[in-house]
Chains A and B, each alone.
Chain A
Amino acid sequence: MRKRLWWVLGLLALTVLLSACSGYKPQNTFDPAGQPAQEQKNLLVPVLWIAAGVFVIVEGGILLISIRYRHRKGRERIPKQIHGNTRLEIGWTIAPALILAVIMVPTVSMIWQLAAVPANAMHVTVQGYQWWWGFQYTDEDMRTAFGDHGPITVADVLVVPAGREVELSLASEGGGAHTTDGIPDHMVIHSFWAPRLFGKQDVVPGRTNHITFSTDQPGVYWGQCAEFCGLQHGRMRFRIAVLDAQRWDAWVKNEKLPGVTPTDTLAKEGMNLFLNGVSSGGQCIACHAVGGTAASATAAPNLTHFAARTHECFAGCDFETFLPDGSPNYAALTAWLQDPNAVKLGAKMPDYDLTPHEIDALMAYLYSLT
């Protein structure tokens, strides 16, 4: 009877565990999809097995000793007084030292391996703002075809080709609209991390750190800021879209183009509001840029291709740009434009008291920017 109960309990526990472990987890470090995440996992797993072995030996030992030598009522026993054993103690000093030495050999070699920079990597500068990520493609062949031919610049979603090494340079930027005397305010430490592709590196003001990664598997990978960076640290997310060669070429071609000038009336009105100010006097272009127009500020996300299919999410990847069926996510964008602070406390985007009509017009414009 008791035995059967244990079986039932055991199966129940197993079911719970399995149900908890199943399901796709977009930031699972044990489900790597590229380098160096795969190597980092490969390095950790044997160490975890060694740790598990030590765990079993030590905890098992504690348990066995506790049971075997426990005091039993009525059986008075005065144990033998042992003060120590030098040989034994030297032994259990050397044993862990040897295990650790074994662990440190591959560790040290990989530290140096990860620090090496490959020769023909694609270069992207990652910009950490409070609280969203910007990406600039700094290679010569990634210049835009408009204005002063600056680098392709996007926000929230980093787009890279499959099968190519990408070297990221990490830079901390100021907190957007809030500047004093031209010095960006709230330039803080962030940390860039996409668990399925690479471990994190800090984004430190005044320094440039690097991450090199690559993957053969097209797809969308999640990541987020991992170093506490103020109020909305928990919602400073990004995604990395890895495209196959064909889609990558199309993406680059499109990104080099200036922002679309809409033909639709409502969208045209939105463009006018965007470039010339809204009824409350607020200026979108004080912070935002749209390539090919007068809007060229860099304090907030670059919106040149806001409605490109790869731009899946906006405002620190807090909100989906598109609904699952591919249609615009007007509800989320309306809430954001109405009062950014109401949906994301502390967001640097000001509340411009937009009228419902202005919001509709601005959304029409933004969703025309494919």
Chain B
Amino acid sequence: MATATVPTRRGGILRRPTATTGFWSWFTTIDHKKIGILYGVTAFTFFIVGGLEALIIRAQLARPDQTLVNAAQYNQIFTMHGLTMIFLFVMPMSAAFFNYLIPLMIGARDVAFPRLNAFSYWVFLMGGLFLYSSWFLGGAPNGGWFGYAPNSTTDPTPGMTFYALGLLITGIASSAGAINLAVTIVNMRAPGMTLFRMPVFVWMGLVVQFLLAFSLPIITVALFEMLFDRRWDTAFFDPTRGGDPILWQHLFWLFGHPEVYILILPAFGIFSEVLPVFSRKPLFGYQFVVFSGIAIGFIGFGVWVHHMYAAGLGPVANTAFGISTAIIAIPTGVKIFNWMATMQGGDLHFDTPMLYSVGGVAMFVIGGLSGVTHSVVPSDYQQTDTYYVVAHFHYVLFGGAVFGLFAGMYYWWPKVFGFRLGEGLGKLQFWLMIIGFNLTFGPMHILGLEGMIRREYTYPAALGLAFWNEVASAGAFLIAISVLVFIINAVRARVRHRPLETDDPWDARTLEWTTSCPPPAYNFETIPVVHTLDEFWHRKYAEDKEGRLVRVPAGASDDAPAPAAGHAIHMPSPSFWPLVAALGLPTLAYGAMYSWWIVGLGALIVVVAFTGWALEPGTAE
């Protein structure tokens, strides 16, 4: 049997930790699977927190003229809700899936830079904790996730300084992760896995990493300018001293719109994996789906002004960006039709992952259609900044992205933990979710068209908006119950711990299911050799001349040779340094707010950590 053994070498500052099990091993792990789990657990925790913020919002808006929270509290809560759901839930939850699955799906033993991977996670966690520490240090960010200057740069509370610094920290995490995963996908594929034999999920992962790598530098510039405006009295966005508030909007949305695709493409990848498995058919038009994903990635950089139609950029800009916004609907629509064609004629097994995928596609269609109305610029002057837009992006990002993430959780849960989530509770959870979701966000279309603006902490009864707000609030609590059922399901499945009958519980198609559940630290005893798209499926089934499936007798395939007994697999050792280095970043950030001495301390931590990192022996002693 293969084992992970490690040769020894002397040198370095600290001894390299060796433990790969137990509580403390989680702090030093550089195993992409454990890091994936850390990402997932942390992101889900932030999802709960962001969800509680949403419940406060819906409780406040349930009736007109409520005073559950005041204006100052409300502005912090809606800002933190947005920041949490985008930067601390959907992005890191996608990172969790990418981290865990990409090496397994491409037949690799780990990511290209395992310590950098751990660093990404710890930096993300530090960024999240730094942002949330603002609640105890003078007030949370209160200028919206979009942080429009000069409101954000002149606000007297420290919240938006936390915003600038916190997003800079999480941005470092995402940049490092993006480079790491892109390099992994490009360089570490198993023999025979050409780019066009990669699962669509990996393709979407690759597109997302490039989107991150090209869009994060833009927001970084903007955040530094905001930080300097706030802390050191520069005037990037101050028109009385030659600055321009519109500059912030360009920089923010030039990042912000690709960001939307960073949030949704992972879910597209998940749909594209789940639908074929549960339809027992290959993805219809694999190349079309892949190329449309790439097209979305490119066009996604060319539509940012549709967030700014009302800013007064003039008819030329509005015409150009109205047209580009219409164009991006095309590659998105293509995917929908391809998914439908995948299901058409299949043998559809509606297990929970399938329910969430079909439900997710159905909800995304609604968000896509309301998105098309945003390209109708003159009427968008009416809808922009109203609840119509809130409805739109929740259909896209909740109905699309979050449903996709739930589909992924149910689908890969047995892979990650070795046991399934309960099907009965899973189905209950799905139906509660889709009903609650539509009750919450469906009425917001109407509210927006009836003149309810975004980001208002209360509204007078005379506007006649009470009824649909009450419905929306009731729906929000239904969503909360659904999430509660999910948690119960996860806990119950863990307590029962019914081992899987097979390592391939869904009769799946891709390489991650060729190894055990959960996989060993080294993923594959023998690196698989890939001959085709959906490699694992074709090892199990052959197609006859009419395209009918014929099961290959067990053992008849020579694609998975028996493992050679007793050979050693070299895996990198755990390390303290990613965590230590990550601790330096919030220290630097607090320093930027309070004292140059703390900046010095933070810089020291970072320098020491990276030195230790560089000098660390290759493996444990």
| Contact surface of A with B, Cβ cutoff 8 Å | 19-20, 23-30, 36-37, 39-41, 43-44, 47-48, 51, 54-55, 58-59, 61-62, 65-66, 69-71, 77-86, 88-89, 92-93, 96-97, 100, 103-104, 107-108, 110-112, 114-115, 183-189, 191, 193, 195, 198-202, 204-207, 209-210, 222, 224-235, 345-346
Contact = CB atoms under 8 A, between A and B. Distances in A.
Interface stretch (B42-50, B183-191, B195-203, B541-549): B541-549
Contact of B547 (A36, A80, A224): A80
B379 A40 contact: yes
A103 B548 contact: no
Given A71-B348, A200-B310, A100 B462 contact: no
A135 B349 CA distance: 64
B175 interface: no
A230 B451 contact: no
B548 A80 contact: yes
A78 B548 contact: yes
A235 B74 CA distance: 13
Given A24-B464, A27-B450, A28-B449, 20 more contacts: A25-B465, A37-B382, A39-B378, A43-B376, A55-B366, A66-B358, A82-B341, A88-B341, A100-B327, A103-B375, A107-B322, A107-B376, A111-B315, A188-B151, A195-B382, A206-B240, A209-B312, A227-B148, A227-B385, A231-B71
22 contacts: A19-B467, A26-B451, A27-B463, A28-B451, A30-B449, A39-B378, A40-B382, A47-B373, A54-B369, A62-B361, A69-B345, A77-B347, A78-B280, A82-B281, A92-B334, A93-B330, A100-B330, A104-B375, A189-B148, A200-B382, A201-B381, A231-B72
B13 interface: no
B372 A85 contact: no
Given A82-B282, A204-B245, A228-B454, A346 B72 contact: yes
A214 B449 CA distance: 21
B238 to A, nearest CB: 8
B475 to A, nearest CB: 15
A100 B326 CA distance: 6
Contact of A233 (B369, B381, B456): B456
A183 B240 CA distance: 7
A231 B152 CA distance: 11
Nearest to A187: B150
Given A29-B450, A58-B340, A69-B343, A83 B282 contact: yes
B386 A226 contact: yes
A81 B282 contact: yes
A226 B385 contact: yes
Given A40-B379, A108-B322, A25 B450 contact: yes
A335 B467 CA distance: 30
A366 B79 CA distance: 39
A84 B144 CA distance: 44
Among A186, A224, A228, A234, residue most surrounded by chain B Cβ atoms (within 10 Å): A228
Contacts of A199: 310, 378-382, 384
Contact of A26 (B70, B286, B462): B462
B346 interface: yes
Given A80-B345, A81-B282, A62 B382 contact: no
Interface in B61-90: 70-72, 74-75
Contacts of A37: 382
B538 to A, nearest CB: 10
Contacts, number: 294
A53 to B, nearest CB: 10
B328 to A, nearest CB: 10
Contacts of A61: 340
B287 A84 contact: yes
Contact of A43 (B244, B315, B378, B463): B378
B318 interface: yes
A200 B373 CA distance: 16
B336 interface: yes
A222 B154 CA distance: 29
Interface in B326-369: 326-327, 329-330, 333-334, 336-338, 340-341, 343-350, 358, 361-362, 365-366, 369
A345 B457 CA distance: 12
A20 B467 contact: yes
A345 B379 contact: no
A40 B449 CA distance: 12
A193 B464 CA distance: 18
A186 B154 contact: yes
Contacts of A229: 151
Contacts of B298: none
Contacts of B246: 204, 207
Contacts of A41: 379, 382
A69 B285 CA distance: 19
Contact of B322 (A82, A104, A227): A104
Nearest to A44: B379
A27 B447 CA distance: 10
5 smallest A-B Cβ distances: which pairs?
A27-B451, A199-B381, A206-B239, A234-B456, A209-B312
B348 A66 contact: yes
Contacts of B337: 89, 92
B516 interface: no
B287 A44 contact: no
Contacts of A111: 315, 318-319, 322, 377-378
A108 B319 contact: yes
Among A44, A224, A226, residue most surrounded by chain B Cβ atoms (within 10 Å): A226
A40 B383 CA distance: 10
Nearest to A53: B369
A187 B240 contact: yes
A23 B347 contact: no
B504 interface: no
A41 to B, nearest CB: 7
Contacts of B493: none
A28 B450 CA distance: 4
A195 B451 contact: yes
A25 B348 contact: no
Contacts of B285: 83-86, 89
A41 B373 CA distance: 12
Interface string B496-522: 000000000000000000000000000
A84 B286 contact: yes
Nearest to B344: A65
Contacts of B454: 226, 228
A36 B549 CA distance: 61
A62 B340 contact: yes
A64 to B, nearest CB: 9
Given A82-B345, A89-B334, A103 B372 contact: yes
Nearest to A114: B378
Given A27-B450, A82-B282, A100 B329 contact: yes
A230 B155 contact: yes
Nearest to A51: B369
B347 A71 contact: yes
Interface string B267-291: 0000000000001111011111000
B378 A36 contact: yes
B214 interface: no
A204 B547 contact: no
B245 A40 contact: no
